[in-house]
Amino acid sequence: VLEKTFEEWLRYRDECLRRMASEPYPAGLFCNRTFDMYACWPDGSPGTTVNVSCPFYLPWFEKVKHGLVSRRCGADGQWVTVNGSQAWRDYSQCEEEMETTAEEEGARQLMVSFKVLYTVGYSLSLLTLVSALLILTLFRKLRCTRNYIHANLFASFGLRATSVMVKDVLLERRWGREVAQVADWETLLSHQASWNPALGCRAAQVLMQYCILANHYWFLVEAVYLYKLLIGAVFSEKNYYRLYLYLGWGTPVVFVVPWMAAKYLKENAECWALNENMAYWWIIRIPILLASLINLLIFMRILKVILAKLRANQKGYADYKLRLAKATLTLIPLFGIHEVVFIFATDEQTSGILRYIKVFFTLFLNSFQGFLVAVLYCFANKEV
C-alpha cells in the first residue's frame, strides 16, 4: 500500500508542479501557489479560505473523494501559519476512519503472532545450524560423504533463515512506519522521495527463494544418497558427490533466474513478495513440488526396504513397530515430506480458517525445521 501510495504521490506532485508552471499569475496581492507535500494549492485571495479536493494518492481516497482540505490566506498575502512556521491546514474531511472491526484486529494480531513464531523458529534454527555446521566440518573423524551432504543441507537452512530475517528488517525499515495522521504521511513521503528502489530487500527476497529451492534439492540429494546406500549401487561416492553439489546448489539457479526476470519485467513492485499474477509464482512452485513428489516416492520405497529388513530380523512385534515408526519419523524432516501435505492447498484455493491453519503449519514447520534437522543429524548422532 505504501509503495503504491508513494507512486501516486509522485504523480500528484508532478501534475501540481506542471499546473503551477503553466497558469498565469494574478495581479495585486495574493498568497503564492504552492505544493506543501500534502496538497496542491492555487493562488489565494487575501482574507479568504482556499479549498481543494482531498489528494487522490491517499489509499482511502474513494471514501473521501468528495471531501475538501482548506488553508487560509491572510490579509497580508501570506498563508496563515501555526506557531509562526507550520502552515495551518484543515484536513479533517480527508482523514481515514480509523475504526477497525474485531475481526480485522483479530486477523492483524494473528499475523503479528505468526511473525513472532517464525522469527523465534529461524533464530533458534540458525543458532543450532551454525553450531552443527562447525562440528561436522572441524572434526576430521566426521568427514565423510554422508556428513558432507548433511553440512550442505545445514548451510542451505542457515542461509534461508538469514535471508528471511534480513528481508524482514529491510521491509520494516522501509515500510514499517506507523501512519496515523497527515503529518506522518508528509514525513514518510518526503523522506521516501530521496530513496532508491529497495534493492537490498529484493536481493534478500531472491536469496530466500534460492535457499528455499536449495533446501528442497538438498532434501532430494539426501533421499538419492540414502536410496543408493540401501539399494546398493556400485558407483564410487567421490564421483557422485560433485553431481550432488550441482543438484543441490546448481538446480535452484535454473529456476530463480527466470523468476527474477519475470518479477523485474512484469511485477517490479515492493519487495517482490506479492504475487498478483500467480503464473510467475509457478516458476518457483513447480520445482518445489517436483522435488517433494520425487522425495515422497523415494521415501515410500525406502520405507518398503526398511520394512522388509525389519521383518526379516524382527525379535518382537512391538520392537519391530517401534523401530519402523522411528525410521519413518526420522526420514520425514530429512526429506521434507511434510511439504506434500499442502501441495494441493495452494494460496489461491485457501481462505478463512483453512488459510490461517495452512499459514501456521507452513511457517512453524519451515522455521523450526532447521533446528530439528540439526538436532537429529548432528547433536543426536552417536558419531558426534
pLDDT in tens, 121-175: 999 999 999 999 999 888 888 888 888 888 999 999 999 899 888 888 877 776 6
What pLDDT is recorded for position 134?
Answer: 93
In the predicted structure, residue 76 carries a pLDDT above the cut 50? yes
**Residues in CB range of 16: below 8 A, 6 or more apart:** 35, 40
CA distance 320 to 375: 24
Mean pLDDT for the stretch of residues 296-308:
81
Residue 183 banded pLDDT, cuts 50, 70, 90: low
Query: Which residues make Cβ contacts (< 8 Å) with residue 374, sequence separation at least 6?
Result: 125, 128, 129, 131, 132, 154, 157
- Find the mean pLDDT for residues 284-293: 87
Helix residue spans in 139-181 (DSSP H): 145-175
pTM over 0.95, yes/no: no
Average pLDDT of the residues in 273-294: 83
User: Residue 210 above 90 pLDDT?
Assistant: yes
Return mean pLDDT, the chain: 81
Question: Rounded to an integer, what distance in angstroms lies between the CA atom of residue 322 and that of residue 315?
Answer: 12
Q: DSSP readout, 300-316?
A: HHHHHHHHHHHHHH-S-
pLDDT at 197 over 50: no
Per domain, the residue ranges of the chain are 1-94, 102-378
What pLDDT does residue 194 have? 46
Query: Which residues have a Cβ under 8 Å from the Cβ of 372 and sit 6 or more positions away?
Result: 333
178 has a pLDDT exceeding 70? no
- Window from 58-62, 99-103, 192-196 with minimum mean pLDDT: 192-196
Q: Which of 336, 320, 334, 328 is nearest to 376 (CA)?
A: 334
Most confident residue range from 58-62, 247-251, 274-278 = 247-251
Which of 7-21, 73-87, 231-245, 249-263 has the lowest average pLDDT?
231-245
Confidence at 341, pLDDT banded by 50, 70, 90: low
* Nearest partner of 333 among 378, 371, 293, 284, judged by Cα: 371
Beta bridge partners of 81: 87
- The answer to whether 211 touches 160, Cβ cutoff 8 Å, is yes
Q: How confident is the model at residue 59 (pLDDT cuts 50, 70, 90)?
A: confident
Read off the pLDDT of residues 322-339 as tens digits, 9 standing for 90 and up.
565 566 667 666 666 666
pLDDT at 131 (0 to 100): 94
- Higher-scoring residue by pLDDT: 1, 134: 134
Fold of 1-94: Hormone receptor fold (4.10.1240)
CATH 1.20.1070.10 corresponds to the domain 102-378? yes
CA–CA separation, 87 and 68 (whole Å): 16
